[in-house]
Every structure is written in structure tokens, then in C-alpha cells.
Amino acid sequence: MSTPNEESVRSGFRARLLTTFGALGNPQYRRYWLGSLASVGAIQIATMAQGWLIVDKLGGSALSLGYLGAATAIPTILVGLLGGVLADRLDRRKLIMVVSASSAVLLFLLAVLDSTDVIKIWHVVVIASVQGLVMGFDGPVRSSYFPLLIERSQMMSAVALGSVMWQFSRLATPIAGGFLIRYGGTESVFYVGVVGWVSMLLVMISIRISSPPSDKTRDVVSDMLEGVRFILSRRDFILLIGLTYSTHFFGMQYLQLMPLFAQRFGRDSDGFGMLLSAIGLGALAGTFVVGRLRSHPRVGLIMLGSSLTFSSIVVAFAFAPSFYAALIILFACGFANTIFFVIAMTVLQLRVPEGMRGRVMGIYTITFSLIPLGGIMGGVVAEMYDERIAVTIGALILAVIFTCAALTQPLIRSLDGRRLEEK
């Protein structure tokens, strides 16, 4: 017979599981989540392979990695607003299907070029730029579609599960990718990516829930401007999106430069994969922890504190004395950054009106493109000095930004987890 204390522990554990995984009880969302896991894995593993292909097989430099980052990021940013508008005007389900099919075709082309040994750096860059255009639609459409599959009360769970999906992918795919690169070459990774995108396409064919119709009488430009004006009218949105942008541009340059750190530690593709996986493992752990913070009265301070901690940890990684020390530090990086991301994303999803969701999330998801774009800055500095200096400069800039936000922005500092839905 269990004691009251044991029963309390079990009840608390069940409550935490429900907070994190409750949305999976919805069959449509569960199917969508599994398909998304496959496609996100395709994104992660292909991005990893592209970087390793340029540095190892094609002899590229830090600046080449910067060019790759720019080729991916700039097109995504340029069409991000348009992607958000289309997400509000067109059938989001069909848009995801188009994105999935297009991504599968692009990765197949890259795989063929690689496997026939005619691949050049410019091939990788050009294909990455076209993929960047496609991703400009992917982010806002995904972010605005999944709320249609869940109850409003499941929003924190769905956001946390989205983070679990990304972080598990960041944990598993680098290990798998490193193994595949070692024994099958980078071309095998791209073929696996094709399978991931095809899986997402088949899932979306099976799901019948479409986005509600919208007023298409207005022109696209007016809709774009309306989305921008809406965000500018909301100080909380400006601050959360701005801080997220800063985090990804300045704080996460180490991701784009990771192949160079792997080589610095004397590691091949396996070691490269382990470094990326350590981030994913930490982020996965952070996702389970953040579910307990949903109703914390000082969730704003927790969010700011986690980001300042993240900045410090990035600097520690830059000068890690050994490969295994780097793994531990990167685990902490993933953990701290996830706390900020999940809280910020949850606040935005709860507070944005349905009719504006695609446009707002289109602007918000540009943030993910700032990771490779920040790699340009990091690549230039790394070329002039080395990757450690590049990563440190970015992290210190980020620390200054968040310190200023913590000291001057009570709207963010005072965020209360019990009142996240308040407009």
C-alpha cells in the first residue's frame, strides 16, 4: 500500500506528463506531430551534412560556412512575411504539402549531385538558397496550423511538444548523421532527408483539417502591412520577438561554426554529431522542466535569467579545454536556451488572434533564419581571428541586450505565468 507521500509524488509526475504530453491525446495532432518529427529530422540532418560536406569533402573555410548560412537565411527572411500572409489566406494544410514535396525534390537533387562526385560548393549554396525560399513558407504555416488541431487549454503542451520534437531531432539526427556520413558519405544523409519530407507529405494527405477561409479581397501587401502594424502596436510582441531575434543571431553562431570546433578537438563527423546531440539532449531536458513553470508568478524573470545564463555558457564552450568538457557545456547551452524559447513562444501563441496568427508567426519564425545569418558575422570574425573569438563576441553582445531588457523592461520582467493569456 502506497503512502500519502508516494501518492503525491505519483500525482505530481502524472500532472507533469499531462502538461508536456497532453496534446498527443488528440489523434490528429499526434499524427501531425509524428510527421513533423520526420520532416524536422530531415531539416536537421541535411543542414548538418551540408556544413560537413563543405568543410571536409570540398575543403571550404569558415567564410564558406558563412556563405552557406546566408544562402539559407536571406531567402527565408525575404519571403517570411509573404509566407505569413499566405498562411492566413490559403489552406495551410495544402501549403505544408507543397513545402514537403518541394523540399524532398531539392534534397534528392543534392543527393544525386553528391553521389556522382560532381558536387561543388556553389551547388550546395544555390540549392540551400532555394530551400531557404521554401522554408520561408514552412515556418509560419506550421506555427499557425497546429493550433487548429488542439484545444486552447493544450497550447502549452503543444508548444512544449514542438520543442521536444526539435530537441529530440537535434539529439538523435546528429548521431545518426555522423554515423551515416562516416560509412555512407554525405549523399546517404540527403537520401534519408528525402524520406523524412515524403513522410510529412503522406501525413498531411491523411489529415483532413484545413484552415478556415479568409477574406481574399484585400491585396497581399495590405495584409503584410497589417501584420507588421499589429506587432508594432503590441509592446510585449516587439520585445519577445526582438529578444528571440537577438538570441538566434548573436548567441547561436556556434551552431554554424560547429564543424570548425569539431576539427579543433581533433574529431571527425562522429564527434561533430556528438557535439550537436549534446545541445539537443540539454534542450530536451529543458523542455520537460519548463512545463512546470507554466503557472509560475515570476516566469518573466526566469525567462530573462535563463538567457543570461545561456550567454555565459556559450562563452565557456568557446574555450572548453577538451571535447568531453565541451559536451557537458553544450548540454547546459541547450537546457538554458530552451527555457526562454518555450516561454516566449507560448506567450505569443496565446495572445495572437487566430486571423493574425499566420502573419505574426511568419515574422516570429524569421528568428530561425537568423541562426545561419548570424553565421556570416561569425564566419568573418572566425576568418580574421578564430571561431572562439567569433562565438565569444556574439555571446557578449547578447548578454548586454538581455541585461538592458531586464533592467529597463518591466513588461517582460513582470510576466506572470498565471496570466499569460492576458492581452
pTM over 0.75: no
Task: Give the DSSP letter of residue 352.
Answer: S
* Residues whose CB falls within 8 Å of the CB of residue 247, separated by 6 or more in sequence, listed in order: 307, 310, 337, 340, 341, 367, 398
Cα distance between residue 285 and residue 291, in whole Å: 11
394 versus 136: which is more confidently predicted?
Answer: 394
Q: How many CB atoms lie within 10 A of CB 104?
A: 21
The answer to which of 126-140, 201-215, 244-258, 265-279 has the lowest mean pLDDT is 201-215
Domain boundaries, the chain: 24-206+219-419
Cα distance between residue 151 and residue 153, in whole Å: 5
The answer to which of 99-108, 229-238, 281-290 has the lowest mean pLDDT is 281-290
* Residues whose CB falls within 8 Å of the CB of residue 80, separated by 6 or more in sequence, listed in order: 136, 139, 140, 362, 363, 365, 366, 369
Cα distance between residue 397 and residue 379, in whole Å: 16
Nearest to 103 by CA among 169, 35, 193: 193
pLDDT tens readout for residues 208-239? 877 665 655 566 677 777 778 888 888 888 88
Task: Give the DSSP letter of residue 219.
Answer: -
Is pLDDT at 359 greater than 60 in this prediction? yes
Residue 296 corresponds to which cell in the numbers above? Answer: 509560475
- 24-206+219-419 classified as CATH 1.20.1250.20: yes
Mean pLDDT over all residues of the chain? 81
Cα 178 to its chain centre, rounded Å, is: 20
Question: How does 253-292 read in b/e, with b if 16+ C-beta sit within 10 Å?
Answer: bbbbbbbbbbeebebebebbbbbbbbbbbbbbbbbbebbe
